[in-house]
Amino acid sequence: MKCYVPGPNVKVLGRTVHALARFGDELYLESLPDSILLRTLNAAESAYAMVKFNKNFFSYFNYNYYSTEDNEGLKCKISMKSALNIFKSPTHMDKQVENLEIKLDADACKLIFQLKCKHGIVKTHFVTILDCKAMQAVYTKDLVPNRITSPQRILSEAISNFQNSDDQVTIEATTQSFVLRNYVDSNIDLSKIIRTQINLKSAEFDSYIIDEETTITFSFKEFKALLAFAEALNLPLQLHFETTGRPVVFIVHNGATFEAHFVLATSKADTPTQATATQNTTKTERSKRKDDSIQNTVRKKPHLETDITKCLDEDSHLFDFIDIPEDNNGKNLQSKNFTLNASKQNDLDFSNAMECDNIPASPTSKTMIKSVFKRCFENTFDPRAIQGVVLAENSDSE
């Protein structure tokens, strides 16, 4: 195989490699008579990506350049980390690279990537071939009942409301609406997580065909990666899916130049609809919190609301600390003659207070507190008030 990629298309190839790197750690490359295929698979085998570059994507293309006997093209597997080293900054590659040459060194079993940059700079990367085999996933995208074509901007803005810690996302597609929400296990305490749900109308999509209403759940990490790829190329996104348990296919293509397929496995929900489970769990949590609040109210001792109101009405209530002494068994002292005002509290027997777990605070002098700011309310000093009074006699003339 030998091909040349023009400068503007090098940027597209670089973004493709960065998108595939978020799916898997190995990159499979296969050359066909009319195209080159790049594939990858994640470690859990739940996400698959394939990008097809047609012959017109290259300025020169020969799929079996080094083949002498058979007509088979190149089939190999390389490390994704090595591929990322070639396209470190795809954003500015179209301004720096004039063309990219990709060829096979059959003797050394290496792929050679030669970047010819401006000002005569040539960068050559030798990538070791790990294995000589191809990979193919079996899925369907044409006979599915549900097909949606969406501008990438709509879905990108929708997922921007989700948390980075979300692992899975759920799509609930009906004939009238398209609901996106973060998946939450029904066994998790909902008071400790953030629930996010976005409701989109069918009119917001370019094409919206739902023949079978369904709810599917898939990985959020790979979903963000393919949306970032579509956003970088400013291309619409197509969704092809069936029902729960069947894979969902996302397609990004640019006419007859290239086409990308992202296939994500879907999982079955714990309940028929997660919204119902959420509502039931929410009701359970509310009832639990209500029971706890009732129990806490029962545990509290009667604090004589009339006495507390009197304390709050006083000017110095911010400086009064009201403590209710407790006996050794942790029970509050209960007496009909006991009140919470400062005068009654000073009359308590000090010996009985020492036997309690909580010793009441020392009483605060209200007179002293009020006298601290006494001078603030006095009239400003007027020199005319001391006319005729000699404050300091003149010193001697000597």
Q: Tell me the per-residue pLDDT of 96-152, one tens digit each, with 9 for 90 and over.
A: 899 999 998 877 789 999 999 988 999 999 999 998 888 888 888 888 999 999 998
Instruction: Give DSSP secondary structure letters for 301-365.
Output: PP--HHHHHHHHHSTTGGG------B-TTSPBP--TT---SHHHHHTS-HHHHHTSSSPPPPPP-
Q: How would residue 30 be classed by pLDDT, with cut points 50, 70 and 90? A: very high
Residue, of 171 and 350, whose pLDDT is higher: 171
pLDDT of 267 higher than 70: yes
Q: Per-residue pLDDT for 190 more than 80?
A: no
Contact 205, 178 (CB under 8 A): yes
Q: What percent of the chain has a predicted confidence (pLDDT) above 90?
A: 44
**Is pLDDT at 334 greater than 70 in this prediction?**
no
Whether the per-residue pLDDT at 236 is higher than 70: the answer is: yes
Query: Does the pLDDT value for residue 329 go beyond 60?
Result: no
Tell me the pLDDT tens digit for each residue of 242-257. Answer: 988 899 999 999 988 9
Q: Where does the pLDDT of residue 333 fall: very low under 50, low under 70, confident under 90, or very high at 90 and above?
A: very low
Rounded average pLDDT over 62-72: 68
pLDDT range class, residue 214, cuts 50, 70, 90: very high
Predicted pLDDT at 331: 42
Stretch 256-278: mean pLDDT, rounded?
A: 71
Q: Taking 70 as the threshold, does the pLDDT of residue 232 lie above it? A: yes
Mean pLDDT, range 184-194, rounded to an integer? 74
Query: Is the predicted pLDDT of residue 210 greater than 50, yes or no?
Result: yes
Q: What integer pLDDT is reported at residue 320 of this predicted model?
A: 42
CA 185 to chain centroid, in Å, comes to 17
Measured CA to CA, the distance from residue 294 to residue 302 in angstroms comes to 14
Q: Which residues pair with 259 in a beta bridge?
A: 52, 253
Rounded to an integer, the average pLDDT of 213-219 is 92
pLDDT digits (tens, 9 = 90+) for 148-169: 999 989 999 999 988 888 889 9
Average pLDDT over the chain reads 76
* 131 contacts 143 by C-beta, under 8 angstroms: no
Res 335 pLDDT > 50: no
Task: Give every CB contact of residue 366 below 8 A, 6+ residues apart in sequence.
Answer: 316, 319
pLDDT at 64 over 70: yes
- DSSP letter, residue 212: S
Please check the confidence at residue 294 and state whether its pLDDT lies above 70.
Answer: no
Task: Band the pLDDT of 381: cuts 50, 70, 90.
Answer: low
- Give the pLDDT of residue 386: 60
Point out which residues pair with 267 in neighbouring strands.
217
pTM over the 0.75 mark: no
The answer on pLDDT for 288 being more than 90 is no
| Confidence at 332, pLDDT banded by 50, 70, 90 | very low
Query: What pLDDT does residue 380 have?
Result: 65
Q: What is the set of domains in the chain, with CATH numbers?
A: 2-128 (3.70.10.10), 146-282 (3.70.10.10), 305-386 (no CATH)
